[in-house]
Amino acid sequence: MTDRFARTAERVAARQDARAAQLADDVREFGQPNGDERALDVGTGAGALAFALAPLVREVVGLDPVPELLELARARALPNTEFTEGDGTAMSFADGAFDLAGTHRTLHHVERPDLVVAEMARVTCAGGHVLVVDQLAPGDEDAAAVLHEFETTRDRSHTRLLTDEELRELFAANGLSVLRERLEEKPRELAAYLDLAGSEGESRARAEALAGANPRVLVESVGWYLLSAR
């Protein structure tokens, strides 16, 4: 599944650079860190969330299983960032090792997002915070099925979008309570979105046809959740 990110690492990093200022503003406003946190970014890719957090916290560790992305993250490193290879579903960090654990646009690329949320809760200290940002599935089952077909046709590494309700169940099951939440809806440009995933040939044509017949798949819903750990 992660080979798609190895192939498209440069594109992922270029998009990250283009969106860095906006993400930094959003994270500052939504996360409101106190400046003294040891923070973790799970599924950091080329470091998007880690670099947004870096000026706002004491230090940030970014974790990802794809070496090609970590190399691009390290090329952008700041004095208080560090990047390490690993799997968010089974992390080697001690219980309570972080004050803030975040993940940005990663849960829907992981077979077992429930394990990532459980691991984030485990490595966050009591009274610490967890930040989850991810694209959401619509609550309506038919709309969710169409979006799932589009996303998996576009990108084989896409597993499944969770609904807002499913995410809340995962949070509650791991003792995480919602402190703040936000829903973002943004149109996306089809060609750029297909390019980002390296979508080509037949599967690209099929994704284009699906989007033509269902324009709603080109409006992404992104949920932001700031959670308090027990």
Ligand X SMILES: C[S@@+](CC[C@H](N)C(=O)[O-])C[C@H]1O[C@@H](n2cnc3c(N)ncnc32)[C@H](O)[C@@H]1O
| 3-class SS of residue 15 | helix
> Can residue 87 be called a binding residue for ligand X (CB under 6 A)?
yes
> Can residue 198 be called a binding residue for ligand X (CB under 6 A)?
no
Q: In the Cβ-directed half-sphere of 205, how many Cα atoms lie within 13 Å?
A: 2
Q: Which of 106, 153, 174, 199 binds ligand X (CB under 6 A)?
A: 106
Residue nearer to ligand X on the CB measure, 65 or 198: 65
Name the token pair of 28: 């500052």
Site for ligand X in 4-33 (CB under 6 A): 5, 12, 16
Site for ligand X in 47-86 (CB under 6 A): 48-49, 64-66, 69
CA nearest to 179, candidates 43, 49, 14, 30: 30
CA distances from 216 to 144, 162, 187 (A): 11, 17, 9
* Candidates 93-101, 102-110, 164-172, 186-194; binding stretch for ligand X (CB under 6 A): 102-110
d(CA 60, CA 47): 10
C-beta separation of 43 from 109 below 8 A: yes
* Candidates 26-34, 98-106, 145-153, 219-227; binding stretch for ligand X (CB under 6 A): 98-106
By CB under 6 A, name the binding residues for ligand X.
2, 5, 12, 16, 42-45, 48-49, 64-66, 69, 87-89, 104-106, 109-110
